[in-house]
Amino acid sequence: MLNHRARLRPSLLAAAVASALCAPVFAQSDTDNELPEVLVTAQRIATPESRTPVAMSVLDGEQLAKLGIDNAAGIGKRLPNVHLDGAADGLRITIRGVSNSDATEKGDPSAAFMQDGIYIARPQAQTLSFLDVDRIEVLRGPQGTLYGRNTTAGVVNVISNAPLARLEGAASLALGSYNARIASGMLNVPATDWLALRAAVALHKHDSYLRNGQGTGFELGQDRDDRAARLSAKVALAPAASLLLRYEHATLDGNIDNIVPDTNFFSGVASGKPVWRDASTAQYLTNSFKPFNTRLEQGYNHKTLRNAGAELAWELGPATLHYLASHRKADHDFRANFYYRALPTLAIGVHEDFQGSQRQDSHELRLSSTGSGALKAQGGLYYFREESHQLYGFRGLQALKQPPYYVFPHGPTIARSRAAFGQLTYSLTPALRATAGARYTSDGKSRVGSTNFQQGPVFNPATDLQVLNNASVQGHKSTWKLGAEVDLAPAAMAYASLATGYKSGGFNDGCLAGSSALGLPCPAAVAVPAGALFYQPETLKSWEAGLKARFWDKRASLNLAVFHYDYTNMQLSGVAIVAGAPRFMTQNAGAASVKGLELDGQVRAGSADRFSYGLTLLDAHYVSYRPNGVLSWAGQPLDRAPRSVLNLGWEHTFRLPGAALLAGVNARRSAAYNISVSNQLLQYRIPARTASDFTLGYRPDGGAWSLLARVKNMENKVQPITIDSFGMAVPSEPRTVDIRLDYRF
């Protein structure tokens, strides 16, 4: 339970903030100062954000450009109860304390990441640079009815700009610290009265944020070298039908060595009780680890992604037919140098070589009602298939009495999901509406592969040992939602909902005794018990109530949500020794409880001043969990779940002769939170922190160009955003500075 002090202190602060922000507003009545209304598709149909009964946040393309947010990892700094972290193995999404750490081909997320409504399964494919974005919608809470499985935490949907029936273009160039070079461009052309084309490109480069204290001269990670391009076409098939086609190609190069030892940030790790170490930012960002057992090598990272999508909208009178299809390909290879803590006081160097490919196809057919009747309905069918092949190779484990090459050839790994869903909203009165929705999902996953103990880079049957990895799971689940919403005033509504969600179960490395595949048997001596090989689906039930209001002549807004989750079989992942070999394992963590409050909004205090505010209170903890089967973590907080976060922002426009100067500052104060490595019984406490950003822009009246200067993380403080089972920590970004020139026509 949130204690009285935790409730009272932020509440008083929120009241003080609200009073300060509201004071100058009474003297204003100009309708030009109204907050703009944003149309969103959180409910799969277009509705005003202020009239959508979902806890959500929206960032539009203009805001993203002003804040310098050019990939998903930057979003969470501006949103309540959201962490989006660029981990070594891809994007890590945590919403309201709910997260996932299995980024392998057999893992599933707790929050769905989508691009233009298309589910992107692999976190390694979610780290792309943003490209000509219209808006980003982040939905907090389970979205199992309309979005399906793996949305227990919520949904992040990046929505691109579509071609328009007018000629327009834009270009930007930015230069900054760490040798940052950022460029982007867009051109929209109405080719005919039935065809519009839109092209967009983006390039982002910067040097490493890390310092090499190893004496090798090698480049380290946390650099960036991304290139992306998209071509879109919108075709008017008929007066009532349109087809939107998109093709996107992106490459990501650079370095995968973006870690430092956890001992950079903590002392006492060997004793099992990490304590935060006070040091300079330069010390935190220096990798000085010199392994005694191997020579370090230059790391690298090459990733290529291709995506083709189609979206059909056909108005059929009382209903609109929507068809959404996508085909995605991803190829990835890298080399990384690991800090591998094998014993509490012993760390060795390990090299990982990886090659992998992933293909996914998805199709959704949906019918939604139109018109102004009392009943609004939508329903549809969904199909998803993913196939991946991977080759993991580890070198340097001889110090642990392992062979020179520890190799995992895996594939195909195949995941399938089929679903049918529907949702109805009925107006009981002009001011009161009720909603009911349900989704039935049938899914399955299978994988064949092996764990190879090799003397050389190529498997030799005469000298090497091969242990089978072979498992499959099938399952089905129904999720549902009940909700109600009521208009309290023309610009205010309240809502409540009861919803369920689930994340599918899966399997770990190993095989059942007596099974066989790839010509390999699974004898009892190397078999894994079913209780360790398989883990169960993660499920939750959510109660939520909220209020959305616009007041003071629609120049101020307030969004309030309170929620309570009951989690069962929460899935946690880490490395464990099973059948004599280290394996990446996912286990069910018993039960968890999540409850909290979210408050955010904006105020336009006249034509020159804009304010934003946000406050979250969160109590997310384990109800029952024994990570080693003995020690209880009941009552311990979930990861990345600070008990309180306060956000304040202010932007002021200074009028100059023939121009405007815009200055803005945003500060975020987060309470302390944990990052846990459950299989090591380690809990790292990340201290409370304040992070501030500053922007200064110049825009001539009626001009096609503008200048913007930015400083991110003015305090220049860093902390680990992930820590894995080996003791490898990925630091957050230090202070960065850049200046950007924009031109539009």
Output the domain CATH number for residue 244. 2.40.170.20
Is 157 part of a structural domain of the chain?
Answer: yes
575, with CB counted inside 10 A (0-12, 13-18, 19+), is: middle
User: According to the model, what pLDDT value does residue 31 have?
Assistant: 60
Q: What are the Cα distances from residue 297, in Å, to 219, 334, 337, 669? A: 10, 12, 7, 39
Q: What confidence tier does 582 reach under pLDDT thresholds 50, 70, 90?
A: low
Query: Cβ(732)–Cβ(718) under 8 Å?
Result: yes
Mean pLDDT of 172-177: 97
What distance in Å separates the CA atoms of residue 95 and residue 112, rounded to the nearest whole number?
A: 11
Look at the block and give the residue holding tokens 């890590």: 92
Dihedral sign from CA coordinates of 318, 422, 43, 228? negative
Is 523 part of a structural domain of the chain?
Answer: no
Lowest mean per-residue pLDDT among 12-21, 106-115, 138-147, 478-487: 12-21
Query: Cβ(182)–Cβ(174) under 8 Å?
Result: yes
Is 459 part of a structural domain of the chain?
Answer: yes
Q: How many CB atoms lie within 10 A of CB 12?
A: 10
Pull the structure tokens for residue 700: 């001539």
User: According to the model, what pLDDT value does residue 577 have?
Assistant: 66
Is 604 part of a structural domain of the chain?
Answer: yes
What distance in Å separates the CA atoms of residue 565 and residue 141, rounded to the nearest whole number?
A: 9
Is 527 part of a structural domain of the chain?
Answer: no
Q: What are the Cα distances from residue 361, in Å, to 325, 351, 417? A: 8, 33, 11
Residue 428: give the domain boundaries: 4-504+533-744
Q: What percent of the chain has pLDDT over 90?
A: 76
Q: What confidence tier does 125 reach under pLDDT thresholds 50, 70, 90?
A: confident
Q: Which amino acid is at 526?
A: V
Query: Cβ(413)–Cβ(444) under 8 Å?
Result: no
Q: What confidence tier does 24 reach under pLDDT thresholds 50, 70, 90?
A: very low
Query: Cβ(716)–Cβ(280) under 8 Å?
Result: no
Mean pLDDT of 486-498: 96
Pull the structure tokens for residue 618: 């969160």
**Number of independent structural domains in the chain:** 1
Q: How many CB atoms lie within 10 A of CB 374?
A: 12
Tell me the whole-structure pTM to 2 decimals. Answer: 0.90
What distance in Å separates the CA atoms of residue 602 and residue 332, rounded to the nearest whole number?
A: 42
Higher pLDDT, 109 or 647: 647
User: According to the model, what pLDDT value does residue 329 have?
Assistant: 96
Of residues 552, 622, 635, the one with CA closest to residue 590: 622
Residue 581 scores a pLDDT above 80: no
What distance in Å separates the CA atoms of residue 592 and residue 321, rounded to the nearest whole number?
A: 40
Is 448 part of a structural domain of the chain?
Answer: yes
Residue 26 scores a pLDDT above 50: no
Mean pLDDT of 139-168: 93
Rounded to 5 degrees, φ, ψ at 64 are: -60, -45
Alpha-carbon 11 to chain mean position: 29
Is 528 part of a structural domain of the chain?
Answer: no
pLDDT tens figures, 523-570: 998 898 998 899 999 899 999 999 999 999 999 999 999 999 998 998
Is 516 part of a structural domain of the chain?
Answer: no
